Amino acid sequence: MPQALLLENIHPDAAKSLRDHGFTVTTMKGALSEDELIEALDGVDLLGVRSKTTVTRKVIDARPNLSAIGCFCIGTNQVDLDYAGTHGIAVFNAPYSNTRSVVELVIGDIICLLRRIPAHTHHMKHGMWDKSANGSHEVRGKTLGIIGYGNIGSQLSVLAEALGMRVMFYDLEEKLALGNAQRCETLNELLEQSDIVTLHVDGRKSNTGFFGEDQFAHMKQDSIFLNLSRGFVADLGALKQHLDSGHIAGAAVDVFPIEPKKTGDPFETALADEDNMILTPHIGGSTLEAQESIGHFVSQRLEDYWEKGSTSLSVNMPQINLSENRGVARIAHLHSNLPGVLARVNHVLGEENINIAAQALGTEGELGYVVTDVAQRPNRETLEALRSIEGTIRMRVIS
How many structural domains is the chain composed of?
3
Q: Is 64 exposed, middle or buried (0-12, 13-18, 19+ CB in 10 A)?
A: exposed
End position of a domain, from candidates 231, 256, 279: 279
Give the mean model confidence (pLDDT) for residues 81-96.
Answer: 96
Helix-, strand-, coil-residue percentages of the chain, each rounded to 5 = 35, 20, 45
Q: Are residues 327 and 309 in the same domain?
A: no
Q: What CATH number is given to the structural domain containing 224? A: 3.40.50.720
Q: Are residues 119 and 147 in the same domain?
A: yes
Amino acid present at 145 = G
Beta pairing, strands 367-374 & 329-336: antiparallel
pLDDT mean across residues, the chain: 96
Give the mean model confidence (pLDDT) for residues 365-385.
Answer: 96
| Residue 89 pLDDT grade (very low, low, confident, very high; cuts 50, 70, 90) | very high
How far apart (Å, rounded) are the C-alpha atoms in residues 158 and 107?
A: 11
Give the mean model confidence (pLDDT) for residues 32-42.
Answer: 97
Q: Are residues 88 and 113 in the same domain?
A: no
End position of a domain, from candidates 302, 317, 332: 317
pLDDT at 62 (0 to 100): 98
Q: Are residues 227 and 307 in the same domain?
A: no
Q: How many CA atoms lie within 13 A of 234 on its CB side?
A: 27
pLDDT at 266 over 90: yes
Give the mean model confidence (pLDDT) for residues 320-346.
Answer: 96
Tell me how far the alpha carbon of residue 252 is from its chain's centroid: 21
Q: What percent of the chain has pLDDT over 70?
A: 100
Q: Are residues 323 and 336 in the same domain?
A: yes
Q: Are residues 115 and 255 in the same domain?
A: yes
Q: Are residues 48 and 119 in the same domain?
A: no
| Residue 120 pLDDT grade (very low, low, confident, very high; cuts 50, 70, 90) | very high
Q: Are residues 340 and 378 in the same domain?
A: yes
Q: Are residues 268 and 212 in the same domain?
A: yes
Q: Are residues 54 and 119 in the same domain?
A: no
pLDDT at 150 (0 to 100): 94
Q: What CATH number is given to the structural domain containing 386? A: 3.30.70.260
pLDDT at 246 (0 to 100): 97
CB 358 within 8 A of CB 327: yes
Give the mean model confidence (pLDDT) for residues 363-385.
Answer: 96
CA distances for 125 relative to 118, 129, 131, angstroms = 11, 10, 14
| Residue 9 pLDDT grade (very low, low, confident, very high; cuts 50, 70, 90) | very high
Residue 59: closest CA among 93, 32, 25: 32
CB 41 within 8 A of CB 63: yes
| Residue 311 pLDDT grade (very low, low, confident, very high; cuts 50, 70, 90) | very high
User: CA 93, 95, 96: angle at the middle one, nearest 5?
Assistant: 135
Q: Are residues 47 and 163 in the same domain?
A: no
Which domain range does residue 15 map to? 1-97+287-317
pLDDT at 166 over 90: yes
Looking at residue 55, what DSSP letter applies? B
Give the mean model confidence (pLDDT) for residues 161-171.
Answer: 98
pLDDT at 68 over 90: yes
Q: Are residues 62 and 139 in the same domain?
A: no
- The per-residue pLDDT for range 340-366, each reduced to its tens digit, is 999 999 999 999 999 999 999 999 999
Give the mean model confidence (pLDDT) for residues 237-248.
Answer: 98
- The per-residue pLDDT for range 273-305, each reduced to its tens digit, is 999 999 999 999 999 999 999 999 999 999 999
Give the mean model confidence (pLDDT) for residues 386-395.
Answer: 97
pLDDT at 165 (0 to 100): 98
Lowest mean pLDDT among 121-125, 258-262, 322-326: 258-262
pLDDT at 203 over 90: no
pLDDT at 263 over 90: no
| Residue 253 pLDDT grade (very low, low, confident, very high; cuts 50, 70, 90) | very high
CB 165 within 8 A of CB 224: no
| Active-site residue set | 230, 259, 282
